[in-house]
């Protein structure tokens, strides 16, 4: 048994308490006592302590595009050309180095769990590696080294557009057909939990990896092929994610091809359900939103990416009013800061509606914590409560950004940045202390090296 004494802690159902003693055993929280003194041997966490943050939508390799895809006026084609050119240069070794450093950056930002929407499966030209899951294994190793939990969302990506074959760098994404995709991930998911399990180090929480599946989009997977992905998700009770209506052009082409919206196509193919997460959902009709709500599908918003790519502002307030569970993702890694994503949900609504006051800070923090973990299949994480995983994230309340704001959820969501996270504990194991990652101390240098190696 051990304990963490928190100067302040954000406790369910959304209140801040002072002097909170969090007892832990076997990687889980056993007791939460406000207004308590530290026990002998308690580790002290200053500032406001939150549950772990969950980054529900990540493409780790896009980290190498930060600051580069903005060249010139940084139009969409600059971004897309750079993304495909980068995708063509990755191999299992440099992918591991880049993902490890990227996940370490996430750990420093208080992210304890990441959902990787993984479609870079094969060698250039679509040739299979000797181990056809070597790229997925690189991501699993990267998360383990960075000390964060991972939900590996193995993505089915079979076409370059509606009835258009994969071309160029896209050929690395494709398995040929849905059956081949299902066979490949069958072997990944069979051997991974045993061979890739994180040593439990006296905590009983087990592996740091869960598996999930994803449909890249209605452009890249036909309705018949979607059925194969749904079958795998159903059989193994895994999370199922899908990019949905990120841009208007997808809707227009989908209407031209199927005479239905992308949401309707997904609904008709049986994709929408509890455990399904639609990523972006930026351009939906009222009827589309009703389909998501009625089916229990969640939505992952990625506001910093959506604004970087000029996608638009999704109807977050409308989703929440319909009872759709919202979660957050850093997606393209233009920014890795879930506080920025959280406040952008409210601030985007304000810009779109010319009105303040759509979400409370507590609701936004729920999106970044408990909702995010649920969307990734970790229902036992994201709250500081007995029985939950012992993930703790301390936020400095005396930084130039947060000083004078008070010990409140509002201070974290509307004033703090990722740089204000001082300490991070995952499954009762400290991975960040005093803003330093204990396993990968020089993360800036690791990112620099990993990205420089790709640009040679
Ligand atoms: Zn994405």
pLDDT, position 206: 53
Distance 331 CA to ligand 1 centre (A): 5
Rounded to the nearest whole angstrom, what is the distance from the C-alpha of residue 9 to the centroid of ligand 1? 32
Q: How many helices (H) and strands (E) does the chain have?
A: 15, 16
Q: Are 404 and 324 in contact (CB under 8 A)?
A: no
pLDDT of residue 199: 41
User: Which residues, 6+ apart, have CB-to-CB distance to 65 below 8 Å?
Assistant: 79, 82, 83, 86, 332, 333, 334
Residues with Cβ–ion distance below 5 A, ligand 1: 331
Q: 364 CA distance to ligand 1 centroid (A)?
A: 21
The answer to whether 156 and 179 have CB atoms below 8 angstroms apart is: no
Give the span between the Cα atoms of 440 and 147, in whole angstroms: 10
Tell me whether the omega of the peptide bond preceding residue 13 falls within 30 degrees of 0, making it cis. Answer: yes
Chain segment 101-110, per-residue pLDDT in tens: 999 999 999 9
CA distance 323 to 13: 17
Cα-based angle 254, 115, 147 (whole degrees, multiple of 5): 165
Spatial distance between the Cα atoms of 174 and 274, rounded to a whole number of angstroms = 27
Catalytic residue among 137, 280, 373, 437: 280
Rounded CA gap, 65 and 74, in Å? 11
Residue with tokens 């194991």: 429
For helices 92-108 and 134-146, the axis angle rounded to 10 degrees is 30
For CA atoms 162, 166, 172, 176, the dihedral sign is positive
Q: Which of 175, 288, 311, 331 is catalytic?
A: 331
pLDDT score recorded for residue 191: 54
Q: Beta strand pairing status for 2-11 and 15-25?
A: antiparallel
Measure the CA–CA gap between 438 and 455, rounded to whole angstroms. Answer: 28
d(CA 365, CA 342): 7
pLDDT of residue 74: 78
Q: How many A from CA of 7 to the centre of ligand 1?
A: 37
282 and 303 Cβ atoms separated by less than 8 Å: no
Adjacency order of strands within the sheet including 111-118: 53-58, 111-118, 149-156, 209-215, 240-244, 276-280, 298-301, 326-328
Neighbouring CB atoms inside 10 A of 172's CB total 22
Q: List strand residue ranges (DSSP E) for 345-428, in order.
A: 392-395, 421-426
CB 278, CB 56: distance < 8 Å: no
Q: Is 287 a catalytic residue?
A: no
DSSP state of 425: E
What is the full per-residue pLDDT of the chain (456 aa) written as tens digits?
899 999 999 999 999 999 999 999 999 999 999 999 999 999 999 999 999 999 999 999 999 999 988 888 878 778 888 888 998 999 999 999 999 999 999 999 999 999 999 999 999 999 999 999 999 999 999 999 999 999 999 999 999 999 999 999 999 999 999 999 999 998 887 654 433 444 444 444 457 999 999 999 999 999 999 999 999 999 999 999 999 999 999 999 999 999 999 999 999 999 999 999 999 999 999 999 999 999 999 999 999 999 999 999 999 999 999 999 999 999 999 999 999 999 999 999 999 999 999 999 999 999 999 999 999 999 999 999 999 999 999 999 999 999 999 999 999 999 999 999 999 999 999 999 999 999 998 999 999 999 999 987
- Residue 50 CA, chain-centre distance (Å), reads 17
- Give residue 163 CA to ligand 1 midpoint distance, Å: 21
- CA–CA dist 131, 297 (Å, integer): 34
Nearest residue to 434 via CA among 41, 33, 44: 44
Radius of gyration of the chain (CA): 21
DSSP 404: T
Q: How far is the CA of 152 from the centre of ligand 1 (A)?
A: 13
Residue pair 254/191 in contact (Cβ under 8 Å)? The answer is no
- Burial of residue 254 (CB within 10 Å: 0-12, 13-18, 19+) is buried
Three-state secondary-structure class, residue 443: helix
List, in sequence order, the alpha helices (H) in 167-315.
Answer: 178-195, 223-236, 248-258, 262-268, 286-295, 303-308
pLDDT confidence of residue 198: 46
Residues with Cβ within 8 Å of residue 183, at least 6 apart in sequence: none
Ligand 1 midpoint to CA 332 (Å): 7
Please report the sign of the dihedral spanned by the C-alpha atoms of residue 286, residue 288, residue 289, residue 295: positive
pLDDT score at 80: 82
Query: What does the block give as tokens for 373?
Result: 């973990």
How far away, in angstroms, is 387 Cα from ligand 1 center?
32
Q: Annotated catalytic, 154?
A: no
């Amino acid at each position: 048994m051990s304990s963490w004494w928190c100067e302040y802690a954000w406790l369910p159902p959304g209140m801040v308490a002072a002097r909170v003693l969090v007892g832990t055993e076997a990687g889980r929280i056993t007791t939460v006592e406000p207004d308590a003194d530290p026990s002998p041997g308690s580790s002290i966490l200053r500032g406001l302590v939150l549950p772990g943050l969950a980054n529900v939508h990540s493409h780790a390799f896009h980290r190498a595009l930060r600051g580069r895809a903005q060249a010139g006026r940084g139009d969409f084609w600059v971004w897309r050309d750079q993304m495909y050119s980068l995708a063509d240069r990755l191999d299992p070794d440099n992918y591991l180095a880049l993902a490890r450093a990227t996940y370490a950056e996430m750990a420093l930002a208080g992210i304890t769990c990441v959902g990787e929407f993984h479609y870079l499966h094969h060698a250039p030209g679509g040739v299979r590696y000797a181990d056809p899951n070597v790229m997925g294994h690189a991501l699993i190793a990267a998360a383990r080294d960075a000390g964060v939990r991972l939900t590996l969302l193995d993505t089915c990506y079979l076409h370059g557009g509606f009835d258009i074959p994969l071309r160029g760098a896209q050929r690395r994404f494709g398995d040929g057909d849905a059956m081949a995709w299902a066979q490949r991930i069958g072997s990944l998911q069979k051997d991974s939990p045993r061979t890739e399990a994180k040593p439990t180090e006296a905590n009983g929480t087990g592996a740091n990896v869960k598996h999930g599946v994803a449909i890249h989009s209605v452009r890249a997977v036909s309705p018949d092929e979607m059925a194969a992905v749904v079958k795998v998700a159903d059989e193994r009770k895994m999370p199922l994610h899908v990019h949905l209506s990120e841009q208007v052009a997808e809707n227009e082409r989908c209407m031209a091809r199927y005479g239905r919206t992308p949401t309707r196509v997904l609904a008709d193919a049986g994709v929408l359900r509890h455990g399904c997460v639609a990523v972006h959902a930026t351009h939906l009709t009222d009827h589309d939103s009703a389909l998501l709500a009625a089916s229990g599908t969640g939505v992952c918003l990625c506001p910093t990416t959506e604004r970087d790519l000029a996608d638009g502002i999704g109807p977050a307030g409308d989703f929440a009013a319909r009872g759709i569970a919202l979660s957050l993702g850093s997606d393209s890694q233009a920014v890795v800061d879930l506080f920025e994503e959280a406040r952008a949900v409210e601030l985007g609504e304000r810009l779109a509606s010319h009105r303040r006051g759509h979400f409370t800070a507590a609701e936004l923090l729920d999106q970044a914590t408990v909702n995010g973990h649920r969307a990734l299949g970790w229902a036992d994480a994201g709250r500081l409560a007995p029985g939950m995983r012992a993930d703790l994230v301390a936020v400095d309340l005396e930084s130039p950004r947060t000083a004078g704001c008070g010990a409140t959820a509002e201070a974290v969501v509307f004033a703090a940045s990722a740089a204000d996270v001082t300490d991070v504990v995952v499954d009762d194991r400290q991975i960040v202390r005093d803003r330093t990652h204990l396993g990968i101390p020089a993360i800036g240098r690791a990112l620099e090296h990993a990205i420089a190696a790709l640009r040679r």
